[in-house]
């Protein structure tokens, strides 16, 4: 007497009926050997399902979160790039209009120079602190990232400000350099405050 | 694990869709073990399985907005995990160990009725066979779904499963005397 092959036994476990299942079922009802085989198959699968869960040796969430944050940052920068294009278009219009408008308030170039120097000093302090080599907690890293993004935006606006007519340009540059110093100051604060909090 | 998430899954998913890092991490914590377990049963090494775990959750974080809640959350995550694990297999192109062993020592093994435990026997199957067994018998994928994931037909999945079970039966010393 030939017995049911494995594929027939397996197909008897499937929810839908396959051609040949009726014949296989008929054989099964009359064959204790195949009944025992099917029972062993059920048991083997139950055993497979009850194998202990395996756990990863390392926590991979920090790596996933870092990639997600990196992608979100790139997305924001792409978006900022589009905004910059739109701003550039507005600047071009402003340049054209500025030629027809009366001159704005006079800006002392020494003020701009002063903010530029402060900015350089803060960047130098940051370089010495070397934030890239230090481990940040998620919240601090998020704040630092946000500040760095905003500084990058200010830098792009500074580049575009060069397109403006002299007096408007200097007023714009003064405002942007002041903003840049404020952001850098906050960034230094984020790193150094965190460092002093944890005793680094 | 999942019972925690099932209790507030809708709210976690809704927050995760907005990019809320805490919600995304909650998803990871809830499904880390089942995803790793699936990956580890399919991949050859723990390192590969961890990479699959990471790839799976990166994909989940990116595409949670596309999850339509038509099926279970675990069903959606499981499909991504299976796809990533199979992709890893294809990339690594591990040699099909049991095929090789069967060619060389297959008859000898049948004679000796070597008994193994199920873990060892599962490990001894080829990557493809083991993936089919795990996805079908444990994770509940249909042959059609497995065929699609593997870029093959449902018949391929069925025949792989039958061969795998015949081997497991033999290696586990379960063959009944006819």
Domain at B139, CATH number = 1.10.10.10
Q: Does residue B22 sit at the A interface (CB-CB below 8 Å)?
A: no
Do residues A107 and A42 both lie within one domain? no
Do residues A191 and A101 both lie within one domain? yes
Using a 10 angstrom Cβ sphere, with 0-12 exposed, 13-18 middle and 19 or more buried, the burial of residue A168 is buried
Lowest average pLDDT, out of A156-170, B100-114, B154-168, goes to B100-114
Residue of A nearest to B163 (CA): A6
Q: How far apart are CA A15 and CA A10, in angstroms?
A: 11
Chain A positions in Cβ-Cβ contact with residue B28 (cut-off 8 Å) = 61, 64
Do residues B31 and B73 both lie within one domain? yes
Quick check: is A127 in a domain? yes
- Chain center to CA of B88: 11
How far is B126 from chain A, CA to nearest CA, in Å? 16
Spatial contact of A183 and A144, defined as CB atoms under 8 Å apart: no
Q: Is the pTM of this model over 0.90?
A: no
Q: Give the pLDDT confidence score for residue B107 in this predicted structure.
A: 42
Spatial contact of B16 and B73, defined as CB atoms under 8 Å apart: no
Which residue matches tokens 């500084």?
A151
Residue that terminates a domain, selected from B33, B65, B92: B92
Q: Residue A34's domain spans which residues?
A: 6-49
Residue that terminates a domain, selected from B68, B92, B116: B92
Identify which of A93-97, A104-108, A150-154, B61-65 has the greatest average pLDDT.
Answer: B61-65
Do residues A98 and A145 both lie within one domain? yes
Cα dihedral A178, A182, A187, A188 in deg (nearest 10): 90
Q: How far apart are CA B60 and CA B26, in angstroms?
A: 12
Mean pLDDT of chain B: 84
Do residues A44 and A137 both lie within one domain? no
Subunit contact B32:A68, Cβ cutoff 8 A: no
Q: Does residue B44 sit at the A interface (CB-CB below 8 Å)?
A: no
Q: What is the largest CA-CA distance in chain B?
A: 61
Spatial contact of B8 and B40, defined as CB atoms under 8 Å apart: no
Q: Does residue B36 sit at the A interface (CB-CB below 8 Å)?
A: yes
Q: Does residue A5 sit at the B interface (CB-CB below 8 Å)?
A: yes
ipTM above 0.90, yes or no: no
Tokens of A123: 């960047």
CA angle B22, B69, B146 (to 5 degrees): 105
Domain total in chain B: 2
Subunit contact B49:A56, Cβ cutoff 8 A: yes
Spatial contact of A13 and A41, defined as CB atoms under 8 Å apart: yes
Domain total in chain A: 2
Q: Give the pLDDT confidence score for residue B3 in this predicted structure.
A: 46
Q: Does residue A51 sit at the B interface (CB-CB below 8 Å)?
A: yes
Subunit contact A48:B133, Cβ cutoff 8 A: yes
Q: Give the pLDDT confidence score for residue B174 in this predicted structure.
A: 76
Residue A56's pLDDT band, with cuts at 50, 70 and 90, is very high
């Amino acid at each position: 007497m030939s017995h049911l092959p494995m594929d027939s036994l397996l197909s008897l476990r499937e929810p839908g009926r396959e051609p040949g299942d009726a014949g296989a079922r008929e054989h099964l009802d009359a064959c204790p050997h195949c009944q025992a085989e099917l029972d062993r198959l059920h048991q083997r699968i139950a055993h497979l399902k009850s194998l202990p869960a395996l756990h990863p040796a390392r926590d991979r969430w920090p790596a996933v979160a870092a990639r997600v944050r990196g992608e979100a940052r790139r997305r924001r920068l792409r978006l900022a790039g589009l905004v910059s294009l739109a701003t550039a278009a507005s600047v071009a219009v402003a340049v054209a209009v500025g030629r027809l408008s009366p001159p704005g308030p006079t800006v002392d170039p020494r003020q701009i120079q002063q903010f530029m120097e402060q900015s350089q000093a803060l960047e130098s302090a940051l370089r010495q602190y070397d934030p890239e080599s230090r481990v940040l907690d998620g919240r601090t890293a998020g704040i630092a990232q946000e500040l760095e993004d905003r500084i990058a935006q200010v830098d792009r606006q500074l580049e575009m400000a060069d397109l403006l007519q002299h007096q408007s340009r200097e007023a714009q540059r003064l405002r942007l350099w002041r903003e840049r110093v404020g952001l850098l100051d906050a960034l230094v604060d984020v790193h150094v405050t965190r460092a002093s909090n944890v005793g680094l | 694990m999942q019972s925690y998430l099932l209790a507030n899954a809708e709210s976690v998913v809704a927050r995760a869709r907005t990019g809320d890092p805490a919600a995304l991490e909650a998803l990871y914590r809830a499904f880390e073990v089942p995803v790793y377990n699936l990956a580890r049963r399919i991949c050859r090494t723990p390192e590969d399985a961890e990479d699959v775990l990471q790839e799976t959750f990166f994909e989940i974080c990116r595409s949670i907005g596309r999850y339509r809640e038509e099926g279970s959350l675990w069903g959606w995550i499981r499909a991504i995990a299976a796809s990533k694990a199979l992709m890893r297999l294809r990339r690594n192109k591990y040699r099909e160990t049991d095929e090789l062993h069967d060619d060389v020592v297959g008859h000898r093994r049948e004679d000796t009725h070597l008994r193994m435990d199920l873990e060892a026997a599962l490990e001894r199957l080829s990557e493809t066979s083991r993936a089919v067994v795990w996805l079908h018998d444990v994770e509940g994928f249909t042959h059609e779904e497995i065929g699609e994931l593997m870029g093959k037909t449902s018949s391929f999945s069925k025949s792989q499963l039958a061969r795998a079970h015949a081997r497991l039966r033999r290696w586990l010393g379960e063959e009944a005397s006819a």
